[in-house]
Amino acid sequence: MSVAREGTLPPPGEAAAGPRRRPGAARRPLRRRILMLLAFMGPGIIAANAGNDAGGIATYASAGAQFGYRTLFAMVLVTVALVVVQEMCARLGAYTGEGLGALIREQFSIRVTAFALLALIVANVGLVVSEFAGIAAAMELLHVSRYISIPVAALGIWALVVFGSYKYAERLFLVLSLVFFAYPVAAFLSRPDYAQAGAQLAWPHFLATKAFLLLVVALIGTTITPYMQFYVAAAVADRGIGPADYPGEKLDTIAGSIFCNVISIFIIVATAAAIHVRAPLESAKQAAQALAPVAGRFATQLFAVGLLGASALAAAVVPLSTAYAISEAAGAERSVSKSFRQAPLFLGLFTGQVFIGAAVALIPGNLIKLLVEAQVLNGLITPILLTYVLVLANRASILGDAANGRLFKIVATISVATVAVLSATVLGQTVLSGLGIA
């Protein structure tokens, strides 16, 4: 008798026949099965879902309230662009195994890298502002003043993340935010004008007004958020998805992007059917009416709960992801378990964003308007970062044979250029009107 590795262990066949042993899969605890389901969902769909945050809800609801079904065709175009962009990012993640932050640092000169990261910080601070505005709007529906809710939320989220017990709060927020899956049901129950909605969806058109253009840029900003591009590349790399697994991941990314935009379209339709006066949204209470077909007189509360969950979730994740991307590019320590002395850049960036975001959201004004404006800011910055993604995905020195082909290059370039032209137009208009010219 020697070392018992083989001696005392019955061969697997015998083990399987034993009455007390059941196969592992049948005994997997529930938690693991849910995790496996989430794993099956894949990074693409999770990333795209992150787009339906507070700013997203506010922007889609605004679109429905102000223009009825007329933004639906724009949403179709946005979906195409989103699919193209997310696919490129997932491909970069799968083929290089690196996040966009690291990839940009390695591939571009230091100044060009700094510009990209600066753009990311500005866009994400805008997002953080909108998340705190979302928290405030949700709490105002529940009759809590924003001058109480925002400071409490900012301190709470900061402390939870830095002192490391955020995990449980995060799950709660995630569950709360699932409320928004009530929108498709609400859209059907509200008996929308199917003929008109269908026509607006298929018929290529635009309205040549300033308000419409602004809203389209907000729609772009909230759907094709720079944050999501960084997320999907990092998530794909992080799961060890390589070139061999990429076809499956590609499907996940495309399906995920389409699925989430279908939800967005339902939010627009539900709000358009619920609100009959075509004017900009004035309050969150108004937006909540879209859920009335589902929740009846509790629509306001239901909307508030969902908005709170989505906003609080993103209010921690967005600043963390910015800090992660910047630290990754700078090669600095990035971990929430480190002290300020060990990871000054990471924790400093996180803290700065949370408190700047909260402070801006405290400025008196219309919260829904602030939410939409933050998405316009994101829309203005999106084309900058998309250009980086496009250049990276075009480079054969990074992706080899998986670099963009000629046809894809054309489609991707047109997508990015269209977004850029729209953003530039809005930027130009805003500057001109700011100067009192137009």
Partner 1 sequence: MADSRPVPSVSVLRARYEQRVERLTTLRHVRSELVSLAGLIGRPVLNQAGQQIGHVADVVVRWDSNKAYPPVTGLIVRVGRRRAWLPVEAVEEFGRDRIGLRTARLDLRDVARRPGEVELSRDVIDHQLVDTDGARVIRASDLYLARVAGVVQLVGVDVGFNSLLRRLGPARFRSRPTPDKVIDWASITSFGSQRGPGGTLQAAERGLQRLRPGELADLLEDLGRTERQDLLSQLTPQQAADALEEMQDEELVRLLRESDTAGAAELLSRMEPDEAADGLRDLDPGEQQKLLAAMPAEAREAVATLLSYAERSAGGIMTTVLVTATPAETIMQVRDRLRANREHDEDLAGIIVLGDGGQLLDDVSMTELFLADLEATVDDLIGPPWPVTVTPDAGLDEVAERLVETRHSWVVVVDEQERPLGRILADDVLDTLVPDRPRFRFPRRLS
- Cβ 126 to partner 1 shortest distance, Å: 18
Binding track, positions 187-216, relative to partner 1; x by CB under 8 A: ------------------------------
- Which of the ranges 93-101, 292-300, 378-386, 388-396 carries the binding residues for partner 1, by CB under 8 A? 93-101
With CB under 8 A as the contact rule, which of the stretches 22-30, 73-81, 251-259, 303-311 interacts with partner 1?
22-30
Asked if 53 contacts 132 with a C-beta cutoff of 8 angstroms, the reply is no
Taking the complex as a whole, the smallest distance from the CB of residue 335 to partner 1 amounts, in Å, to 5
Exposed e or buried b for every residue in 116-126, given b needs 16+ CB within 10 A?
A: bbebbbbbbbb
Contact 370, 135 (CB under 8 A): no
Q: Which two tokens stand for residue 289?
A: 């009416």
Q: Could you say whether residue 28 binds partner 1 (CB under 8 A)? A: yes
Nearest to partner 1 of 29, 436 (CB atom): 29
Which C-beta is closer to partner 1: that of 62 or that of 311? Answer: 311
d(CA 263, CA 218): 17
Number of chain positions touching partner 1 (CB under 8 A): 67
Contact window for partner 1 (CB under 8 A) among 8-16, 129-137, 213-221, 282-290: 8-16
Residues listed for the chain: 438
Q: How many Å apart are CA 153 and CA 371, to the nearest integer?
A: 17
Convert residues 303-342 into a mask of x (bound to partner 1 by CB under 8 A) and - (unbound). Answer: -------------xx--xx--xx----xxx-xxxx-----
363 contacts partner 1 (rule: CB under 8 A): no
Angle at 371 between CA 274 and CA 259, to 5 degrees: 60
Q: Name which position in 32, 33, 205, 278 contacts partner 1 (CB under 8 A).
A: 32
Note whether 418 and 386 are within 8 A (CB).
no
Which part of the chain contacts partner 1 (CB under 8 A), choosing from 17-25, 71-79, 124-132, 269-277?
Answer: 17-25
Rounded to whole angstroms, the Cα distance separating 280 from 291 reads: 18
Interface residue with partner 1 among 76, 97, 402, 417 (CB under 8 A) is 97
Cα–Cα distance measured from residue 314 to residue 335, given in angstroms and rounded to the nearest whole number: 18
Task: Give how far the C-alpha of residue 101 lies from the chain's centroid of Cα atoms, to the nearest Å.
Answer: 17
Q: Is 348 in the site for partner 1 (CB under 8 A)?
A: no
Q: What are phi and psi of 87, to 5 degrees?
A: -65, -40
Cβ atoms of 173 and 256 closer than 8 Å: no
- Please check whether residue 75 is in contact with residue 234, taking contact to mean a CB–CB distance below 8 angstroms: no
Binding string, 255-294, against partner 1, x = CB under 8 A?
Answer: ----------------------------------------
User: Is there binding between residue 401 and partner 1 (CB under 8 A)?
Assistant: no
Angstrom distance (rounded) from CA 101 to CA 43: 17
* 3-class DSSP state of 190: coil
CA distances to 42, 93, 189, 203, 216 from 240, rounded to whole Å, are: 12, 9, 42, 42, 36
By CB under 8 A, name the one of 151, 156, 184, 242 that touches partner 1. 242
Task: Check binding of 245 to partner 1 (CB under 8 A).
Answer: yes
Binder among 159, 181, 238, 421 for partner 1 (CB under 8 A): 238
- The tokens describing 344, both together, are 């000054």
- Nearest Cα neighbor of 224 from 257, 197, 194, 202 is 257
Residue 276 vs 337, nearer CB to partner 1: 337
- Give the residues lining the site for partner 1 (CB under 8 A): 1-12, 15-16, 18, 20-21, 23-25, 27-29, 32, 38-39, 43, 46, 50, 96-98, 102, 105-106, 110-111, 114, 164, 167, 170, 174, 231, 234-235, 237-242, 245, 316-317, 320-321, 324-325, 330-332, 334-337, 345-346
